[in-house]
Amino acid sequence: MDRGAQELPGTRLPDWLRLLPWLALLLLVVVQLTTPATVQLGFAFAVVPPLTSLVYGMLGTALVSGTLFGLLLMPAIRADDVTQGDLLAFSLIGAVSVLLAWLRARRDAQLVSVRTVAEAAQLAVLPPLPERVGPVRCGALYRAAERGTLVGGDLYDVQDGPYGVRAVVADVQGHGLAAVATVAALLGTFREAVLDEPELGGVAARLDRRLVVDAAGREGAEADVFATAVLVEFAPPRAGGEATVRVLSCGHPAPLLVTGEGAREVAVEPGSPLGLGLAEYRPPPVTTVALRPADVLLAHTDGVTEARDAEGAFYPLASRVPRHAGPPVELVREVWRDLSAYAGVIADDVALLALSAPDGSGAAAVAP
C-alpha cells in the first residue's frame, strides 16, 4: 500500500540553509575588510548568532558564536565603533542564542515524539494493505488532505472471510484527525461483519447502525456523522475462469471496471449514505459483474473525481485510466501520477483501491 506520509516541518532542513550562518559570517567579514573605515557594520554581526540558533543545535550555535567573537577581537576586522561594552553585548547575545538553540532542539524532539506516536496510532487504524488477500490481488493508495497525517476521512480495507473476499471503500464526512474516530469505528465494524454477515446488504446495515449509534453519543455538529461507501465481494468463480464480483453502493461513486478495451463505470444502483438515522435502513440492490483474469476493479473516493485542473475542470478518471491495467499496485500508482500532474494541488483526501483475480478465483471459501 502506498501512503502519503509527509515529513514533519522543521525536523529536516536543506543543506543550503544550514550553511547560511557561515555564509553570512563570511560575507560580513569580506564587507568589513573591503569597505572604508567610515562604514560601520559592527551591528550586523549581532544578527548571526540568533540566526544560527534557528538551524543549529547548542554546539553548532556555540561554535558560530565563538568564531564570531574571535573575529571581532582581531584588529583588522573589528570596527572602530565596537567598544569593550559592545563585545560584552555580543557575548551575551551568543549565550542567549545557545539557550534558544537548546529550547528549539527540545521542541523539535517533542514534535518528533508526538509524530511517531501519531503515526503508530494511525497505522493501527489503517494498517498497510498486502498485495494479495486470499486469491485476490490488491493495490491501494491513500493521500490525506491534512498535512502531516496518514489517515483522514477516507478508508478502505480488504478481508478474507467465510463468505469470500470482501472489500470496502468509504468516505466519512469531513477529513483530518477529527474523522479518524469514525474511520476506526467503521473499519472495526466491517471486519466483524465480514465474518458474520452472509450477504453484503447485512454488512451495509451493520455499518449504518455503527454510525447511528456513534452519532447518538455526540453533541452539536459532531452528531451529524454520515459516510458513503461501496462494498465489493468476490463470489465463487464461473466456468471459463471468470470471477463473479458483487458490488453494493451506499451513495458512493461507482467503481470502474478496467479492461484491455478501456474503463467504464459499473452500473450500480446507489442507495442512501450510511448513518442518516433513517427509521428502517434498507440496503441497495447488489450488482453482479463478471471479472476476467486480466480485468481490474478500481474503486475510489470523490477526492479523485472532484480534483480540478487550473481551469476548474474535474478530473475525468474513466477516460484517463490506462487501457492496459497491469497489476493493481501499478494501476493505482499510474492513476495517482496522472492525477497529480492534472490537478497540481489536491485539497481533499484521496483513496484508490484496485482489485483483480488473475487466477479466475474469487472466494477461497464460501459458506453453504
Q: Residue 77: how many CB atoms within 10 A of its CB?
A: 16
Cβ distance 236 to 244 under 8 Å? yes
Q: Please give the distance of CA 167 from its chain centroid, rounded to a whole number.
A: 20
Q: Residue 177: how many CB atoms within 10 A of its CB?
A: 17
What pLDDT is recorded for position 140?
A: 93
What pLDDT is recorded for position 261?
A: 86
What pLDDT is recorded for position 19?
A: 83
Give the tens place of pLDDT for each residue, 89-105: 888 888 999 999 999 88
More confident residue, 359 or 346: 346
Cα distance between residue 361 and residue 342, in whole Å: 36
C-alpha cell at 197: 454477515
What pLDDT is recorded for position 5?
A: 43
Mean pLDDT of 223-250: 82
Q: Which 3 state secondary structure label does DSSP give 93?
A: helix
What pLDDT is recorded for position 156?
A: 94
Give the tens place of pLDDT for each residue, 238-296: 555 567 899 999 999 999 999 888 899 999 998 999 988 776 788 899 999 988 888 99
What pLDDT is recorded for position 9?
A: 43
More confident residue, 365 or 83: 83
Report percent pLDDT > 70 for the chain: 80
What pLDDT is recorded for position 160?
A: 93
Give the amino acid at 204. Answer: A
What pLDDT is recorded for position 147?
A: 65
What pLDDT is recorded for position 288?
A: 93
pLDDT tier for residue 122 given thresholds of 50, 70 and 90: low
Report percent pLDDT > 90 for the chain: 36
Residue 213 has pLDDT above 60, yes or no: yes
Helix 58-72 to helix 84-125 angle (10° resolution) is 160
Q: Report which of 217, 228, 221, 292 is spatially closest to residue 259, judged by C-alpha positions.
A: 292
Mean pLDDT of 59-72: 85
pLDDT tier for residue 345 given thresholds of 50, 70 and 90: confident
Poorest-pLDDT segment among 12-21, 120-129, 212-221, 357-366: 357-366
pLDDT tier for residue 347 given thresholds of 50, 70 and 90: confident
By CB atoms closer than 10 A (0-12, 13-18, 19+), residue 119 is: middle
Residue 10 has pLDDT above 60, yes or no: no
Poorest-pLDDT segment among 174-183, 187-196, 274-283, 330-339: 174-183
C-alpha atoms less than 13 angstroms from C-alpha of 185 in its C-beta half-sphere: 23
What pLDDT is recorded for position 362?
A: 47
Which helix (H) or strand (E) is 156 found in, with range?
strand 154-161
